[in-house]
Amino acid sequence: MTDARHADLSGYGVRTDLALEAHELAAKARGKSEISGVIVDTDDSEPGIRVTRVQVKNEEAGRQIGMHPGRYVTIEAPKLRENDTNFEEAVMQRFAKEIKLFLEQLGLTQDKKALVVGLGNWNVTPDALGPMVVENLLVTRHLFRLAPETVADGYREVSAISPGVLGITGIETSEIVFGVVEKSSPDFVIAIDALASRALHRVNTTIQIADTGIHPGSGVGNKRKAIDRKTLGIPVVSIGVPTVVFASTIVNDAITYMLGHFGQTMKEQNRPFHRLAISDLPERREVYTADDLPEMEVRKTYLGLVGQLDENEKQELIREVLQPLGQNLVVTPKEVDEFMEDIANIISSGLNQALHQAVDQENAGAYTH
């Protein structure tokens, strides 16, 4: 698990690896929609897929939201949970487009050599994203070195490694990566790892790309040495997918969804809370927003003191209750096995297209299994 910055957002009672969430959290805490030095742009042009670009322009802006200065691209695709192969193909193509553009903006042209690092523990399914992506990558460095005459135009020199985790190897992941970089001399590194989210609806539905490097383990509170441009001396692009949330997040979201459910039903049926029956509450599948929440007095009627708390206060209260009991567990959905295979294929296929001009939508499937 990773975090884009060594400092978590414990001041807000929550930890997140996503710049989008960090910005949302900081903006809400300050009571304003914008944070000085942070530029946010959202693209909803493709059905079912939202792309948000967050640029943190300086150190001061980074301190405000708890992220390193740099560029972050977040691809949100809620329908990934529906196992729709056509939609997965659309997400893969959008990811390929975004990562290719990201590399171009960093000046990493087709002649630049890449090292892909699959971070994580292959024995723990929610943390096995990196190794699973590496399994399906089109690696070519050995061909360029041993049989260059067999390499057709349109392919880049790509190598890959899954270094494991400290508990398996006894070696800091950053030390392994540094050694490989020193000996193999790539021009840039792409590091892939699982993330932690502060929002239940983003687990297993979101991909983040960033140019700020990666900190193995810190997403779940384990501080490890960074893998970034400063430590390696070359650009490091990170790719992550949130696969876990804290138990406190689940409880908090459940309360919010319940309030949103009641509030939305009251608006639709134009009836006050005291005239609603359980049979009046329809099934819903959409995520509730702040606009769906009922007025504060109604929330108080539902949940008393807890109903009056804002989002951050509520999350902090739940964390304070669970943490001392050792119950603020890190949780993953029960469908994680199937999801990890699907998202690993999406990322590996997208990377193969972005890294090799000869790989396109038509033949990308030939390099994955």
Q: Name the band, by pLDDT with cuts 50, 70 and 90, for residue 327.
A: confident
Percentage of the chain surpassing pLDDT 70?
87
Residues 324, 360 share a domain: no
CA distance 359 to 244: 32
- Whole-angstrom distance, CA of residue 210 vs CA of residue 249: 24
Q: Could you give the number of structural domains in the chain?
A: 2
* pLDDT of the residue at 253: 83
Q: pLDDT tens digits for 235-293?
A: 999 999 999 888 888 888 888 888 887 787 777 777 665 555 555 555 666 666 667 77
Let me know whether 117 and 258 are in one domain: no
Does one domain contain both 160 and 21? Answer: yes
Classify each residue of 169-194 as buried b or exposed e, where b means 16 or more C-beta atoms within 10 Å of its C-beta: eeebbbebbbebbeeeebbbbbbbbb
- Residue 314, pLDDT score: 81
Residues 160 and 287 reside in one and the same domain: no
Report pLDDT for 326: 79
Give me the numbers of helices (H) and strands (E) for the chain, helices first please. 13, 11
Whether residues 162 and 301 share a domain: the answer is no
Residues 77 and 170 in one domain: yes
Kindly report the pTM of this predicted structure: 0.83
Residues 187, 325 within the same domain: no
Question: CB of 7 within 8 A of CB of 66?
Answer: yes
Structural domain span for residue 101:
2-244+336-367
Structure confidence at residue 369 as a pLDDT band (50, 70, 90):
low
Say how far apart CA 151 and CA 147 lie, in whole Å: 7
Task: Average the pLDDT over 189-193 and give the result.
Answer: 97
Other beta carbons within 10 angstroms of residue 313's beta carbon come to 13
Q: What is the CATH number of the domain that holds 99?
A: 3.40.50.1450
| Mean pLDDT within 57-64 | 92
Comparing 161 with 326, which gets the higher pLDDT? 161
Say if residue 53 is in the same domain as residue 91: yes
Instruction: Report strand pairing: 114-118 vs 158-161.
Output: parallel
Same domain, 46 and 134: yes
316 and 357 inside one domain: no
In this structure, the answer to whether residues 45 and 175 fall within a common structural domain is yes
Both 258 and 122 in one domain: the answer is: no
- Asked if 155 and 354 count as a contact pair (C-beta separation under 8 A), the reply is no
